[in-house]
Amino acid sequence: MEFLEMIFGKIGDLTWGWSLIPILVVFGAFITIATGFVQIEYCGRMFRVLSNKNNSDDDTQISAREALLVSVGGRVGGGNIAGVAVAITLGGPGAVFWMWAIALVGMATSLVECSLAQLFKRKTDDGGYRGGPATAIMHGLGASYKWLAVVYAICLIAAFGLGFNAFQGNTVAGAVQDSLGVDRLWTGIALAVISGFIIFGGIHRIAKASDVVVPIMAVGYILMALVVILMNLSDIPSVLTTIVRNAFGWEEAVSGGMGAAIAQGLRRGLFSNEAGLGSAPNVAATAHVRHPISQGITQAFSVFIDTILICSCTAFVILLGDVYVPGAEGIDGVALTQQSIVFHLGDWAQYYLTLAILLFAFSSIIYNYYLGENALTFMTQSKAVLVGFRLAIMGIVFLGAVAPGATAVFFFSDPMMGILALVNLLAIMMLFPVAMRMLRDFREQLKDGVERPVLNPDDFADLDIDREAWRGDNG
């Protein structure tokens, strides 16, 4: 075990330690420039998806809105509550600015990776769709790269399907026990049963559950933050000034100054919104849309919701209060967020935060499960294996909830996610010309007056796309 921990520790150092974050930042900036700031260009179209209940007018399909909410439910989690607090504690208020910056370039990265997943998706026997980076590698780069797709799939199952779900179970059980005094055993049983009911219904039931849970948790948390902001409206200019001054080292808040702000902001921002990590494209591929770029734009919006909206809510709640003291030690993570909310709104707010953590973590569990299922079905179509995987997820969620120390068993999760991200970025780089080709097609149709562009499979006949998935009537 010690040998394995050492090996995975080295992998973690090689990926998250020095290579992955700079690559994600540089590549995100490159995509932003190469696409002509596409995330700004189509900002208005992003918001329209919220009002389109089902873009395809087909209740049997996953709509763009439902795919958005599933991915938001996965991206939004403990990092939005505890992670932001850690970033501010270690990097100062300036870390918030760099979280915003990485979200901006991450929106472009997410648009490209999710558009590619859409283009190469395959139609399933039940009339739905499956896809993701593994499928894009297999059909976009060719069968000779199948080994790379398998590496990606294994890493996705290990990191998201198994490891991160144990941590989410732990998060929920710990929050419920600390705030409500409910024993971890009962929380574990309830969490496993509810999760099992949803995941055994497949992506359609996951999408329906997310359509209910995600708006409640996101809107509720944002409204709470808005109340805090309105109560301290006169202090907003000074907080924004502090964020900018600290971000560029003009006002040092912690040891390390500007360097600490950049490092913490970028790291926490990437962990939170997952842009470029290769997770969200698996959900993006399930949507029934007219053009791949449409879903790419929608998924870019999920990065905006995660970091620009939700993470900013936590940041303002902390920075507008007196609990956080720059450079002080002793309180960070979820405790800092919790005490800051109590400072503004009173003791009842800690129970509200517990509910938010519970919903955030639960939405992440069903999202993580689907990522694992999608990777599993890429490697095998066995129904028995799928049922076994679903039962294993229920067991892992229960184990993570009742035995906090059990999460240490999944020490390989972060290193595996690091490999996953590098494989995904390599695939994006190699398929980037295809993404630009899709974007040109989308822009040309808009220029010709087509309000809702449609992908014509004949225009991409040289690529190994599933023509059944792009018959011209998607929506």
- Is 198:368 a contact under the CB 8 Å cutoff? no
Beta strand 129-130 with 122-123 is antiparallel
Angle between helices 292-303 and 94-119 (to 10 degrees): 160
Alpha helices per DSSP H over 63-201: 64-75, 78, 84-91, 94-119, 133-136, 146-156, 165-180, 184-199
Measured CA to CA, the distance from residue 88 to residue 315 in angstroms comes to 8
* Per-residue exposure over 78-95, b if at least 16 CB sit within 10 Å of its own CB, e if not: bbbbbbbbbbbbbbbbbb
What pLDDT, on a 0 to 100 scale, did the predictor assign at position 247? Answer: 86
DSSP state of 123: E
What pLDDT, on a 0 to 100 scale, did the predictor assign at position 475? Answer: 45
What pLDDT, on a 0 to 100 scale, did the predictor assign at position 352? Answer: 81
Measured CA to CA, the distance from residue 131 to residue 120 in angstroms comes to 7
Measured CA to CA, the distance from residue 315 to residue 232 in angstroms comes to 14
- Is 327:251 a contact under the CB 8 Å cutoff? no
Measured CA to CA, the distance from residue 250 to residue 258 in angstroms comes to 8
- Is 49:65 a contact under the CB 8 Å cutoff? yes
Tokens of 443: 């822009």
Nearest to 70, CA basis, from 80, 81, 62: 62
DSSP state of 277: S
Burial of 4 (0-12, 13-18, 19+ CB in 10 A): exposed
What pLDDT, on a 0 to 100 scale, did the predictor assign at position 60? Answer: 62
* 455 backbone dihedrals φ, ψ, rounded to 5°: -75, 125
> SS3 of 62, please?
strand
Tokens of 196: 């099992």
Measured CA to CA, the distance from residue 376 to residue 380 in angstroms comes to 6
Q: How many CB atoms lie within 10 A of CB 348?
A: 9
> SS3 of 122, please?
strand
- Is 169:399 a contact under the CB 8 Å cutoff? yes
pLDDT in tens, the chain (475 residues): 677 777 777 777 777 766 788 888 899 999 999 999 999 999 888 887 666 544 555 566 777 778 877 887 777 766 677 778 888 888 888 889 999 999 999 999 999 999 999 999 999 887 889 999 999 999 999 999 999 999 999 999 988 888 888 888 887 887 788 777 888 899 889 999 999 998 888 777 888 887 788 788 788 888 888 999 999 999 999 999 999 988 887 766 665 667 777 877 887 777 777 888 888 899 899 888 899 999 999 999 989 988 888 889 989 999 998 888 776 666 666 778 888 988 999 888 888 888 887 888 888 888 888 889 999 998 988 899 999 999 999 999 998 888 876 666 677 788 888 889 899 999 999 999 999 999 999 999 999 999 889 999 999 999 999 998 887 555 4
- Is 163:416 a contact under the CB 8 Å cutoff? yes
Overall size of the chain counted in residues:
475
What pLDDT, on a 0 to 100 scale, did the predictor assign at position 210? Answer: 79
What pLDDT, on a 0 to 100 scale, did the predictor assign at position 472? Answer: 52
pTM to 2 decimal places: 0.88
